[in-house]
Amino acid sequence: MMSQIHNHSNNTMKKKLFLTLCLFALGLFTTLPMTLKAQAPIRAGDAKFGLTPQLLQKLKASYKETSTDKALQNMVVANGMDFSNSQKGVTLDGEFSHKVESKGITDQKRSGRCWLFTGQNVLRAEAMRVYNLGELTFSQNYNYFWDQLEKSNLFLQAVIDTRSLPMDDRKVEWLFRHPINDGGQFTGISDNFMKYGVVPSEVMPETASSNNTAKLSSLIAEILRQEGIRIREDAEKGKSEALLIERKEKALSAIYKLLVLNLGKPTEKFTYTLKDKEGKAISTKEYTPQSFYQALFKRDMRTSYVMLMNNPTLPYYKVYAIEYDRHMYDGVNWTYINLPMEEIKEMAIASIKDSTMMYYSCDVGKQLDRKTGVLTLHNFDYSSIAGIELNMDKRERIATNTSGSTHAMTLMAVDLDAKGKPTKWMVENSWGADSGYKGHLIMSDEWFDAYTFRIVVDKKYLTARAKALLSQKPELLPPWDPMFMQDK
């Protein structure tokens, strides 16, 4: 009997405990959601400033869909927005008062190596003029091989140098965002050619991967990011700098192999016959890439040329350099004299008059008529299509990342009026002979002012004022400066 009473008492206590737990759980279940429901949804901004139903209705009502709008829509839907502006008022032809002769248009195919083609085209024109040579082209593939290996080392060594900084440091973040690509600028040419020389295109011809660099560049970038992270992990574990460098070199070995598989092994010696314009042999010799460069040019590109920039966001008549804007770890940062366009054009005209081409880069996509190869400020009337005046000046376009240097070409011609003022310019492009105006682009002087950024001139064409600025110590700009845009 006592046992039954005891069991009954235990059962009663268990039921009460179970009921209490159920009520507690029910309280949690009902209270927590009610608390959450009572809270306003988490918003990044005030809802009244979003696209409210009222604002959407207002926007819809603002489009009147007139017969003109319907006709314009039909035209844009069928043809895109790049249809000719009948009011542009500028017609450019291929006649120029001053022009540097060249022979043979190159084609960078589906790659971003315009900077390399441009640098070689400048040298090619010089060699053909000085030695009365026939057609001559250099191997872009040869120099591209070394460019990619040098850029890989630049990234990995920069990771080692910044290993004490946190991963979210702006410089570290920038490095991992931009480990490598196939674009570049003039110091990548001068450093590369002086260290590795040049070879004729027949010695190391193009390959599938050099003509279409996207896959190779993407794979190298992935390897660099992975090995960069591993280097930082090793550094956090306290491994010595010597061990970090050992890891870097192991990664570079893998990249070297990848480059050989895709581009071929760079030649060390070759025999080549130079020929004149009539096709007669001038000489047949054995060369190394370095001796071939010296045989043709006999000068140091790193000290022979000066980079001029027009960047109205910074004070003129100052010298600037951009950190990491180089192709080699032990190379030279992009260093330039910032000048008004009128003074840059004065030196460019002097160079063309003396039959010397120049490395030139601009924002080529702005108002480019690809069919004719003509660049003017009003080829296409986007303002009328959009219904809003697009009128930012050059300084505003740079500051807002609307415009910057995107493509390098070879500046080769200028047309001067009776007063000696330029009216139009012509560049030799690297998009093949069938593109633009017989492989060239022609630009109005107004377009030239608005979208030209970089010109590289031989020192002998500098004005006295520009030459005096070379003694300045460059002001170092960060790698995220708007002008760090590699030409492609």
pLDDT at 4: 45
**What type of residue sits at position 181?**
N
Instruction: Write out the catalytic residue numbers.
Output: 114, 407, 429
Provide the 10 A C-beta neighbour count for residue 267: 15
Pairwise CA distance, residues 141 & 7, whole Å: 92
* β-bridge mates for residue 440, sequence order: 428, 437
How many Cα atoms occupy the beta-carbon half-sphere of 247 within 13 Å? Answer: 21
- Given a contact cutoff of 8 angstroms between Cβ atoms, the answer to whether 378 and 88 are in contact is yes
- Given a contact cutoff of 8 angstroms between Cβ atoms, the answer to whether 320 and 224 are in contact is no
How many Cα atoms occupy the beta-carbon half-sphere of 375 within 13 Å? Answer: 23
pLDDT at 137: 94
pLDDT at 156: 99
Looking at the domain that runs over 98-477, which CATH code has it been given?
Answer: 3.90.70.10
Here the tokens at position 67 are 């017969």
Here the tokens at position 61 are 């009502």
- Given a contact cutoff of 8 angstroms between Cβ atoms, the answer to whether 172 and 162 are in contact is yes
Pairwise CA distance, residues 81 & 369, whole Å: 12
**In this structure, are strands 305-309 and 335-338 parallel, antiparallel, or unpaired?**
parallel
Q: Cα 156 from chain centroid?
A: 20
Q: What Cα–Cα distance (Å) separates residue 12 from each residue in 5, 16, 304?
A: 10, 6, 100
* DSSP string computed for 323-370: TT-SSSTTS---EEEE--HHHHHHHHHHHHHTT--EEEEE-TTTTEET
- Given a contact cutoff of 8 angstroms between Cβ atoms, the answer to whether 375 and 444 are in contact is yes
Pairwise CA distance, residues 60 & 62, whole Å: 5
pLDDT at 32: 46
- Given a contact cutoff of 8 angstroms between Cβ atoms, the answer to whether 410 and 403 are in contact is no
Q: Which helix (H) or strand (E) holds 380?
A: none
**Is this model's pTM higher than 0.85 or not?**
yes
Any residues with CB less than 8 A from the CB of 44 and at least 6 apart, and which? none
Q: What is the mean pLDDT of each run of 10 residues along the chain (488 residues)?
A: 46 56 50 50 84 96 92 89 76 94 92 96 93 93 99 99 98 98 96 98 98 97 99 98 99 99 98 94 97 96 97 98 97 97 99 98 96 95 92 97 96 98 98 96 98 98 98 97 83
Q: Tokens 């990995």 correspond to what residue?
A: 156
pLDDT at 376: 97
